[in-house]
Amino acid sequence: MIAVLCGAALGLAGCSSSSPAAPSEYKVKFDTSKGEFVVQVHRDWSPLGADRFYELVKSGFYDEARFFRVVPGFVVQWGINKDPKVTAEWRDKRIADDPVKESNRPGTVSFATSGAGTRTTQLFVNLASNARLDAIGFSPFGEVIEGMEAVARLYPGYSEEPEQQLIETQGNAYLEKFYPNLDYIKTAHVE
């Protein structure tokens, strides 16, 4: 299960923390096909993660992204851009790991990773207490403070079926063809 969050490990050499500093606290509203939810970000929990998330939201990266992995009782995952060209631009823009200061409890938001120093754009919301993820470096940077019921309604029927490599190379075209019931983000913006 954890292995699916983690893909092939990549080296630390490509790590970068060039994202501009975000405010110490900020909120991001996600308008989705199942309603809205709001993430409160605490930069002191995970500074590099909070900075990268801020940069991605401000750039519109998550607009029209699909929730491609919904595992009830575990996580909801997203963060591959609708356009493979945009995804490719971010593929090697990894950020270093932040120490884990908060536990992966229900409603917290963390970056997905494929090993040390590999965080880029993919995120997940914890649907349960996933404290086991703390010990392997998944550092929450925020928490859903409104709309967790919308997150709970996201379509779980495909579970872990969509292939991330195909999403990265084909974007939403792949998901719309083979996984048409996936829920998606209409827009995400800093409030």
Nearest to 174 by CA among 63, 80, 88: 80
Higher pLDDT, 14 or 8: 14
In this prediction, residue 18 has a pLDDT band, given cuts at 50, 70 and 90, of low
Return d(Cα 74, Cα 94) in angstroms, integer.
25
Residue 106: per-residue pLDDT: 99
Check: CB of residue 134 under 8 Å from CB of residue 153. no
Give the model's confidence band at 182: pLDDT under 50 very low, under 70 low, under 90 confident, else very high: very high
Residue 2 has which token pair? Answer: 């954890």
Count of alpha carbons within 13 angstroms of residue 90, beta-carbon side: 23
Domain ranges in the chain? 24-190
- pLDDT (average), residues 52-72: 99
Asked whether the whole model's pTM tops 0.85, one would answer yes
Residue 152 CB partners (closer than 8 Å, separation 6+): 127
State percent of the chain over pLDDT 70.
91
Interval 1-29 mean pLDDT: 62
pLDDT band at 20 (very low <50, low <70, confident <90, very high): confident
- Model confidence band, residue 19 (pLDDT cutoffs 50, 70, 90): confident
* 24-190 is a CATH 3.20.190.10 domain: no
